[in-house]
Structure 1
């Protein structure tokens, strides 16, 4: 069965938290059946995982890889056998308070998983809001699309353009002078 390990990297000056690499060892790649018309490109099961969890990379090995800092011998099965160093790493990397007297490794990991889940949910909500706003902007831009009228490019909406009659119900507004598009683009209104 595959194991997950963390290889902590040296901190850089701009790092909010210590950078790390997710190491997966004892990994057996899955076999996929390619259907008719499907590409035979190999499937990367770890594609996008590093970005989702904030790792610098994900390394997968079939062999067993022993990372000395992750040695499980010693105090209470805590990596490295040194409780204080492990607690400091958990507190620094995950932002979890480890000042309690008794080590609660399972509790820390559960809290870390919950925090990760909350941040993933928040990111997904922000993505959905961003996509909805982008769609709304596209609808507004579509209303104010350019149209050729008597040799001039005008704004469809601002000029109240009537396509079948190819007339305008309002004075034609040059497309590059459309107040709505200028506001969407962050330009100042000319007076």
Structure 2
């Protein structure tokens, strides 16, 4: 479909053989076409802006999810004797690899906060 040249139509209706009624109708239609074109251009601009915003939000979600994955990787469950599960990050670990002293049950406060649990 080719674009309708409303400027040419506005000029053409000035011809002496065009009736006033036809000229008025054509001019009204030209005004409506121009208005619709302006609205369409504005809508396209808004759609482009919304697309950019959506891409930006998606990138933010990806960054946030990666950060949460890193936190969860740090605060991972560790099985210890006699069948307890503790948080490897929150619990104190000796140089020999054993946990001693401050031992935090899993899920720890950090994981509970991420999960929305009390």
> Could you state the TM-score of these two structures normalised by the residue count of structure 1?
0.42
Q: Which runs of 5+ in 1 are unaligned?
A: 4-73, 87-102
Aligned to 1:118: 49
Alpha-carbon distance change, 106 to 187 in structure 1, aligned in 2, over 3 angstroms: same
Whether 1:184 and 2:111 are equivalent positions in the alignment is: no
The 3-state SS of whatever aligns with 1:125 is helix
Distance 1:132 1:115 in 2: 26
Distance 1:116 1:170 in 2: 58
Displaced runs of 4 or more, over 4 A: none
Across the aligned residues of Structure 1 and Structure 2, the Cα RMSD in angstroms comes to 2.5
Q: Which has the higher strand share?
A: 1
Count how many residue pairs are aligned between Structure 1 and Structure 2.
91
The 3-state SS of whatever aligns with 1:187 is coil
Larger Rg: 2
Aligned to 1:135: 66
Aligned to 2:38: 107
Distance 2:101 2:66 in 1: 28
Per-residue deviation, residues 51-84 of structure 1 (Å, max 9, x unmatched): xxxxxxxxxxxxxxxxxxxxxxx733x9xxxx4x
Whether 1:158 and 2:90 are equivalent positions in the alignment is: yes
> Is residue 144–residue 156 contact of structure 1 (8 Å, CA) maintained in 2?
yes
> Could you state the TM-score of these two structures normalised by the residue count of structure 2?
0.65
Q: Which has the higher helix share?
A: 2
Q: Which runs of 5+ in 2 are unaligned?
A: 2-25
